[in-house]
Amino acid sequence: METQNVRTCFTITYTDEQFNRAKAYVEDMKRHPNRIYWRGKEGKTDQELIIEQIAHRILSGFYNDDPFTASRHIIRMDSMTIT
């Protein structure tokens, strides 16, 4: 199977509740340093980890309980093919 590489940049918006939930998740993960969660996250700041968690949940559909929810969180998306 041939694959393509695409670099995509999302502009998202999030609520204080989403931020606090992601912050609590990151704090919980700190208590479990051997979890797979930490793969590829070495050297990232808490702020980066929190924003990454929010973006993951938005893009994975965790906050999309109706068809219009995603459009409230994902403001813009720019993509380009990488060769």
Q: How many whole angstroms separate alpha carbon 43 and alpha carbon 54?
A: 18
Of the ranges 1-10, 25-34, 54-63, 73-82, which is most confident? 25-34
Q: In the structure, what pLDDT confidence band is assigned to residue 70 with cuts at 50, 70 and 90? A: low
> Number of folded domains in the chain?
1
- Report how far residue 71's alpha carbon sits from residue 63's, in angstroms, rounded to the nearest whole number: 11
CA–CA dist 78, 4 (Å, integer): 16
- Quote the pLDDT of residue 12: 85
Boundaries of domain holding 14: 5-82
Task: Provide the token pair at 75.
Answer: 């403001």
- Write down the pLDDT at residue 63: 60
User: What is d(CA 13, CA 66) in angstroms, rounded to the nearest whole number?
Assistant: 17
Q: Decide if pLDDT at 26 tops 90.
A: yes
User: Tens digits of per-residue pLDDT, 38-66?
Assistant: 998 989 999 999 999 998 888 777 666 66
Q: What is the pLDDT of residue 45?
A: 95
Q: What is the average pLDDT score of the chain?
A: 84
